[in-house]
Structure 1
Amino acid sequence: MIAFPLQFSNAPVGPEGLVFAFAAATAVAGTFVAFLAYRGYRRNASRPMLYLAVGIALLTVVPVGIDYGLSTVTTATDATVVLGVTIAHLTGVVAILYALTRA
Structure 2
Amino acid sequence: MSLFPTARELMEPWMIANFVLSIVLSLVIVYQTFRGYRRHGSRPMLFLALGVVLITIVPTVVSLVAAQYVSAVVFGSTIAPLSQSIRVVGLTSIVYSLYVRR
> Taking structure 1 as the reference length, what is the TM-score of the superposition?
0.78
Q: Which has the higher helix share?
A: 2
State the match for 1:41 in structure 2. Answer: 37
Q: Using CA pairs below 8 Å that are at least 6 residues apart, which structure has the higher relative contact order?
A: 2
8 A contact 1:28–1:61 mirrored in 2: no
2:79: which partner in 1? 81
1:69 offset after TM fit, Å?
A: 1.1
| Greater Cα radius of gyration, structure 1 or 2 | 1
Q: Residue 102 of structure 1 corresponds to which residue in structure 2?
A: 100
Aligned partners of 2:90 and 2:57: how far apart in 1? Answer: 10
| 1:32 to 2:28 alignment | yes
Aligned pairs, number: 96
User: Which residue matches 2:46?
Assistant: 50
- CA RMSD, 1 decimal: 2.2
The residue aligned with 1:66 is 62
Distance 1:26 1:79, change over 3 A: farther
Aligned-pair identity in percent equals: 28
The amino acid that maps onto 2:94 is I
SS at match of 2:5: coil
Gaps of 5+ in 1: 1-7
What CA distance in whole angstroms lies between the structure 1 residues aligned with 2:8 and 2:69?
25
TM-score (norm 2): 0.79
